[in-house]
Amino acid sequence: MSHTKPLTVSSAILGVSLSVASTFSLAQNAERPELSGVWSNASRTSLTRPRGIENLVVSADEADQIVANMSIAGISPENVEAGPAIDPETGAPPAGGQDFGLRGYNLFWTDPGSTLALVKGDFRTSLIVNPENGQIPRLENPKVNVQGSGFGARYLTGVGDTSGPEAIPIAERCLIGFGNTAGPGMMGTLYNSTYQFVQTEDYVLIDVEMVHDARIIPTFDSAEEARANHRPAVLKPWLGDSTGWYEDGTLIVETININPLQMSQSSIPISPTGKITERFSRYSDTEIIYQFTVDDSNLYSQPWTAELSYHATDGRLYEYACHEGNYAMPGILAGARRQEAETKAGR
């Protein structure tokens, strides 16, 4: 399959309706699933299974109970139940209050979904389906070091490395979305869990609402041809080097050479020799089944697989005007330099 013609993303998007086609049929194309449309993967299910929960699938009543006991971004279940702690009309919270400097959001800004992940009609307690315990099979002694950024602690405390721009996590710099929303290994997060899929003869575009990331995946006639068309290993782009092919009604996407800085701040790290394989298939008029398998013997004792669904939505993608990189980062660095000067002066 030829890829000599450049893809014009704007024209591709304009050529696709924002609504999911209602004429979809499972028998429409046995080899190539129809993926174009606007979808959401919002849910309250995390990558790994919570402590004390053994089963992957639970009843609707059990799912409601699990959600009722969940916190959201450090906000306790009691406060979640009570609703937003701040009226946006009343101004900033008082200094020392629970919403002042203790977390990045109050409930007014969160929209992670209201249910556990619903996959093929079943409520799931973890995205991980293999291993069966729903946990990441990390090696006790990894063969390589993938240094994490400590972003979670920074989010809760505001304390972090402020030595220079490069020390600020990539999500705070608005370089790519946080929470692995664009993947590879695409998962929902606190809000903006909407995606538009645009499918052409030679490409699949995935437009991610969070930080307007866009994955442009060339597709080929076979796995062998797709792998032969990976870019040189010296190129390590954001979101990795992805190529795809269709097989038995599934779009399969293989990603390698993900930017090391992205991997150091990801919930799904892989080493330079690891790969992530994604599978997209239609389950119904309104549901895409999405799996990703992480294969990296340097970090994990076995390949592991997560599964979730994208559900059709009548909504639309909105602009994500991420200005932290424009305003917050200069403020953080300026404040740190001021603090250092005052410390040096003995104040």
Range of the domain at 270: 29-43+126-332
Give tens-digit pLDDT for 77-104: 877 777 766 666 776 666 655 555 556 6
Residue 160 within a domain: yes
Contact 289, 172 (CB under 8 A): no
Structural domains counted in the chain: 1
Please report the pLDDT score of residue 74 as a whole number. 72
Please indicate, yes or no, if residue 292 is contained in any of the structural domains. yes
- Cα→Cα distances 243→42, 200, 232, Å: 26, 14, 13
Q: How many CB atoms lie within 10 A of CB 162?
A: 17
Tokens of 246: 């269709």
Q: Residue 267: which of 322, 176, 186 has the closest Cα? A: 186
Residue 314 lies in a domain: yes
Write down how long the chain is.
347
Within a domain: residue 95? no
Structural domain contains residue 12:
no
> Per-10-residue mean pLDDT for the chain, 347 residues long?
41 39 46 94 96 96 95 78 69 61 67 94 98 96 72 64 87 86 93 94 96 94 97 94 97 96 88 95 97 97 98 88 80 92 88
CA distances to 5, 7, 57, 242, 297 from 232, in Å: 20, 20, 42, 12, 22
- pLDDT (0 to 100) of residue 95: 64
Residue 59 included in any domain: no
CA 171 to chain centre: 12
Q: Give every CB contact of residue 97 below 8 A, 6+ residues apart in sequence.
A: none
Q: Tell whether 24 is covered by a domain.
A: no
Indicate the helix (H) or strand (E) that contains 264. Answer: helix 260-264
Per-residue model confidence (pLDDT) at position 173:
85
**CA-CA distance, 221 to 226, in Å (whole number)?**
7
Question: What DSSP string describes 63-131?
Answer: HHHHHHT--BTTB-HHHHHH--SS-TTS-SPPTTSTTSSS-S--GGG----SS-EEETTEEES-SEEES
Would you say residue 4 lies in a domain? Answer: no
